Amino acid sequence: MRTIDSFAAAVHRKRRERGLTLGEVAAKAGYSASYLSKLLHGHRALLPAVVHDLDTALAAEGELDKIAAEQRGDSHAVTRPVQLPPAATEFVGREEQLQAMDHALITQGRPGATVTIVIEGGFWVGKTALAVHWASSVQARFPGGCLFADLRGLAPGAPAEPEEVLNGFLAALGVSAAELGTSSLQTRIARYRSLLAERPAVVILDNVVDYRQAEWLLPGGGSVVVATSRERQSGLLARTGGTAIELPPLPAGQAIELLGCRAGEARVRASAAAVELVVEQCGCLPMTILIAAEHLQRHRETTLDELAGRLGSDKTRLDLFTSSDPAVNIHGVVDVSYLALPAMARRVFRYLGVGPANVVGVESVAVLTELDLDRAREALRLLAEAHLVEPLADGRYRISHLLRAYAHQRALVEERLCEVERAHDRALRWYAATAWNANNTLIPSWADSGITPENLAGVEPMSFKEGGFEAAMAWCEREVATALQVARSARTYGAKDVLWLLPTAFLPYFVLTRSWNTWLVAAHDGLAAARAAGSDAGVARSLEALGWVEHELGRTDDGIAHLEEALRRHDELGDDRSRAWTAYGLGLAYASRDRLAEALELHELADRLFAGSAVKVGAAVNRAALADVCDHLGFADKAMEYALDALNRAQMFTAKAVLGMAHQRIGVLLSRHGHHRTALKHFDEALVVRGGNWQRWGVAETMVCRAEALQQLGLAEQALEAYSGGLRLLEKIGHPRALAVQARLAALESQLHADAEFGA
């Protein structure tokens, strides 16, 4: 056994080799010079944690640890287990989570405290890999090393017994088998915590069940516990005051990077589009991406395009992840989460697999499964806690492609086909009726719904009477893509009209937001469905929607042809409201082609039809269009009369979209006749009421008109700023007018540059 002089001599020798004073050594180790002096003179015990800090500060590479252990005469003290499994050779990303774990170590690591970190996330998301990677980076700071145990919380077979794990940890820490066999459980727990109090360690509890399973394995102060779980660990976090780390799938860019690390960067770069599809279908999960990469390595003849095709099919998506090896068999991995759910949540999960959309809200799930809202909400909460669906910021839930394929296979076995078909029909009818309610709130009395009692059977659509315009707009923005997906994947045989009603119901939303791409898709989908159903009304409305968006996109000749056919069909059907809106849209298209007399005739027809159908919003917007046509025909007084009437009508509506349009139209008329300063006031009013995200195109339009007025007033710098702001918005939404505005901006910049040079 060595004396204290041996340890003190070694410390002084090491500090002199490094040119350090005793005070500098104390500071580096995190202790006071007074404490260190007392330690070296034998007035303080050689605690393993303190010795290890000194060893690290002096870069003694374990020499001081060994001397102190010999001095204490404790043969077990030199035992330093490092039980970490091999770290992943390709570890990508996770910087945010690693920083959070480092931060927890700093903020929770006060004297006497145990740092607890709980990593939660879905299957194959990389929880264990993150825990091992982080522990590898910090374990050198812990003299007790690193203990690791798989508690088998969600795994085939029974969970690990905490007493067995405790015995394994004690054996690794040097406790003899004889002592383990004769001491009580409470004595062993105390012994475990005493050892780690002397020599703090990193303890990884992988795949933990709950707090009760982990309780005996939690060390005393100074150590760090990292637990991982697929389930919410509220009890463990509440009892320990730990830090929760929610681990999501990798961002797409990092998922592609991981695929390239294993499959070859050159191969990945050569097939960028296919690679994006592969990682998307893999759910951006590290394990699925590595399995896909391994498949590419073993089958060099398989192209990324072929792999993307296999993963893109519902029938073959899971084949790649099915194996006799349980570690890489998706069925075995997900089975344990699925089977642990209550029956109601399992049923909801199955219906998400056969349902028509991968993003769902509580209301649509209630309709799909015939549950009330409270039970649907509870089932989704349970699925989210099991990481089988992902909660979104807008209150909806998303199921990944992989889990949807798994749920689909479960449903084929456990659900009756006739019930699945009825669920699809309910979802389709609910989306169609809710879409009509929402869009009729955006533009009241837009058109007859076309929703018959037969189509509403068994569903209760959402109402927007309380939330009004804003609630309806929010629903459309949130659900339009899902609704179109529902219509496209529908299998209904009894309500075929709904297949065209759903896409065309969103026309008011498209008109207000100018969502051209989605609008174009919806119009084509609706037209195909209407023709398949043999619906004259459906064909007419779909042609109206198609012609309008074609005109908006600059394909005006095609748009005029479709609008003319739609107007003829509406006339034959006697649908005056649809005739009015089609005449209005066709008038706009004619005016853009300088067919002003025909445009005037159509807008006057629309004016009469709107008045006869009591469509007040239509009357207001049509009066604004009449103002523009009359002005171009030289009827300036009549034009201003129509414009002011449109403004007066618009001020009666709660929704501000029509008011912004009316101010815009008056501003254009005034500016066209040289009243630029007065026009600016109306443009400013339009900007105030057009400020919502859904009206970016309107804001851009007004900013460009404002820039033109400022330029006419000689305020070039202000005009430049307005043009730039308008251009940014137009480019962001992909507006066809962006190039023309860019040309004006460039011309103005050149003029300013030339003026500056001439002035100089």
The pLDDT-based confidence of 75 (bands split at 50, 70, 90) is very low
Most confidently modeled of 116-130, 319-333, 454-468, 737-751?
116-130
Burial class of residue 454 (count of CB atoms within 10 Å of its CB; 0-12, 13-18, 19+): exposed
CA 202 from chain centre, in angstroms, equals 33
| Gap between the Cα atoms of 693 and 187, Å rounded | 65
Sheet with 243-246, strands from edge to edge, namely 146-150, 202-206, 224-229, 115-120, 243-246
Q: How far apart are CA 337 and CA 339, in angstroms?
A: 6
Q: Say whether pLDDT at 492 is over 60.
A: no
**497 band by pLDDT with thresholds 50, 70 and 90:** confident
Percent with pLDDT over 70 in the chain? 94
The whole-number pLDDT of residue 592 equals 93
Give the CB-side neighbour count of residue 40, counting CA atoms within 13 A. Answer: 19
Q: What is residue 73's predicted lDDT score, i.e. its pLDDT?
A: 60
Statement: residue 78 has pLDDT above 80: no
**pLDDT band, residue 452 (cuts 50/70/90):** low
Q: What pLDDT, on a 0 to 100 scale, did the predictor assign at position 108?
A: 66
Q: Please check the confidence at residue 2 and state whether its pLDDT lies above 60.
A: no
pLDDT in tens, 428-437: 889 988 998 8
> Long-range pairs for 256-260 at CB < 8 Å and ≥24 separation?
257/92, 257/93, 258/90, 258/92, 258/93, 258/286, 258/289, 258/290, 258/293, 259/289, 259/292, 259/293
- Of 539, 591, 545, 599, the C-alpha closest to 570 is 539
For residues 673-686, average pLDDT? 90
> Average pLDDT, stretch 146-157?
89
For residues 341 and 308, is the Cβ–Cβ distance under 8 A? no
Q: Cα-flanking dihedrals φ and ψ of residue 181, to 5°?
A: -75, -20
* Distant-in-sequence, close-in-space partners of 758: CB < 8 Å, separation ≥ 6: none
In this predicted model, what pLDDT tens digit does every residue of 315-367 receive, in sequence order? 888 888 888 888 788 988 899 899 999 999 999 999 999 888 889 999 999 99
Which pLDDT tens digit goes with each residue over 380-409?
999 999 999 999 998 999 999 999 999 999
Position 30 pLDDT exceeds 90: no
> 540 with 566: CB under 8 angstroms?
yes
Q: For 740-744, what is the mean pLDDT? A: 87
Give the pLDDT mean for 523-545: 92
Whether the predicted pLDDT of 82 surpasses 50? yes
The upper half-sphere exposure of residue 705, i.e. CA atoms within 13 Å in the direction of its Cβ, equals: 30
Check whether 109 has a pLDDT greater than 60: no
Query: For every residue of 581-608, which 3-state class applies, written as one string?
Result: HHHHHHHHHHHHCCCHHHHHHHHHHHHH
pLDDT tens-digit readout, 720-733? 998 898 889 888 87
Does position 493 have pLDDT exceeding 70, yes or no? no
Question: Quick one: pLDDT at residue 162?
Answer: 93
Residue 38 has pLDDT above 90, yes or no: no
260-298 pLDDT, tens digit per residue, is 888 888 888 888 888 899 899 999 999 999 988 888 888
Q: In the predicted model, what is the mean pLDDT of residues 95-115?
A: 82
Q: Read off the pLDDT band of 758 (50, 70, 90).
A: low
Q: For the chain, what is the mean pLDDT?
A: 87
* 412 CB-near residues (< 8 Å, 6+ apart): 354
pLDDT at residue 602 greater than cutoff 90: yes
Distance from the first to the final alpha carbon of the chain: 90
For residue 229, the cross-strand partners are 120
Taking alpha carbons only, the member of 389, 474, 376 closest to residue 434 is 474
Per-residue confidence (pLDDT) for residue 168, from 0 to 100: 93
pLDDT bucket at 77, cuts 50 / 70 / 90: very low
Cβ contact 539:531 at 8 Å? yes
Give the pLDDT band of residue 170 (cuts 50, 70, 90): very high
pLDDT of residue 450: 59
The whole-number pLDDT of residue 458 equals 67
- Enter the tokens of residue 151: 């508690």
- State the pLDDT at residue 110: 62
Mean pLDDT of 27-47: 82
Provide the phi-psi class of 522: left if phi over 0, else alpha when psi is between -120 and 50, else beta. Answer: alpha
Q: What is the mean pLDDT of residues 63-85?
A: 73
The answer on pLDDT for 1 being more than 50 is no
Q: Is the pLDDT of residue 459 over 80?
A: no
Give the C-alpha separation, 634 to 85, whole Å. Answer: 84
pLDDT tier, 76 (very low <50, low <70, confident <90, very high otherwise): very low
Give the H or E element holding residue 202: strand 202-206
Q: What is the token pair recorded at 128? A: 């264990």
CA-nearest of 633, 536, 616, 542 to 582 is 542
